[in-house]
Chains A and B, each alone.
Chain A
Amino acid sequence: MESIRLMLDFGVVILIWIVQLVIYPSFLHFSIDGLKVWHRSYAKNISYLVAPLMLTQLGIHASLGYYQPGLLNHLTLLLILLNWGLTFGWAVPLHARIENGTEINYVSTKLVSMNKYRTFLWTLVFLITLFQSI
């Protein structure tokens, strides 16, 4: 189970860095109408990667936190839960505002700045998992 956890954490960290460095900044270069069209397609398609990675990562960390309790296992679970909170409490409403076409430039900038916290937390999770596995 530890090797699956490492694979998932690695997958999540690569994905979030691509989102942070490439995808969200690209939103700033779209026209308002262009972004509305692209965003719907992007958000639907990226979910095929994001949803399985995020949910299975949470499941694996929750299982390990329960069956192999320990400081680091509980810490990574806490960080992941925090990221779920950021995702649904912060990222989801911002994406909804792009969907509705309101203040698109402002919202895109907010997405980039908000996402750095998710990027930091998921990177931390990966580093802890890496530390545990070497």
Chain B
Amino acid sequence: MKKLAGHSILKVVGFIVLAIFFLLAGINHFRDPEFYFPLIPHYLPYPELINTTAGIAEIGLGIGILIPGIRKIAIYLIIVMLIAFIPSHIYFIQLDGCIQEGLCVPVWLAWVRLIIIHPLLILWVWSYRNFNVYY
């Protein structure tokens, strides 16, 4: 398979997608905070603060993985952040995967996100811990 700077093209494309994914996800916390408020478990205080912190973290860490000097720490912090999102995914399952006038999916899909997609996302991030590219 053709290589790009010693990495497979798929790996490099996955890296770019990852950075853009977290950036756009982070921006969305500010563009549409109402989408996220009902997804924050009701037992947690200060939903606005949680939403803003998540947005800043996603944007900052999306940028962080592009910087070789802090890439590894950014990856560890993304994993911590993704683990911190798990209560929200569980809460969404407790709501049967449906929020009135908001996100609504079959509950099995909410389970798939928690049990399969989320761990895969963590693995995807983890796979870049020793990734090295310069621009």
B4 with A55: CB separation less than 8 A: no
Q: Which of B1-41 contact A (CB under 8 A)?
A: 4-6, 12, 16, 19-20, 23-24, 27, 31
Q: Which of A28-57 contact B (CB under 8 A)?
A: 39, 43-48, 50-52, 54-56
Partner of A55, one of B12, B66, B69, B134: B66
Partner of A59, one of B16, B23, B134, B135: B23
Chain B residue, CB-CB nearest to A94 = B5
Chain A residue, CB-CB nearest to B60 = A52
A27 to B19, CA, bound (A): 29
- Contact (A63, B31) CB under 8 Å given A44-B69, A47-B68: yes
A47 with B66: CB separation less than 8 A: yes
Chain A residue, CB-CB nearest to B6 = A96
Chain B residue, CB-CB nearest to A50 = B135
Interface residues on chain A, size class = 20 to 34
Q: Closest CB of chain A to B14's CB: distance in Å?
A: 11
B81 at the interface (CB under 8 A from A): no
Partner of A54, one of B5, B6, B66, B133: B66
A70 at the interface (CB under 8 A from B): no
B63 with A58: CB separation less than 8 A: no
B62 with A55: CB separation less than 8 A: yes
Write the residues of chain A forming the contact surface with B, with a CB cutoff of 8 angstroms.
39, 43-48, 50-52, 54-56, 58-59, 62-63, 67, 84, 87-89, 91-93, 95-96, 99
Q: What 7 A-B pairs come out closest when comparing CB atoms?
A: A51-B66, A43-B134, A96-B5, A95-B134, A47-B67, A59-B23, A51-B67
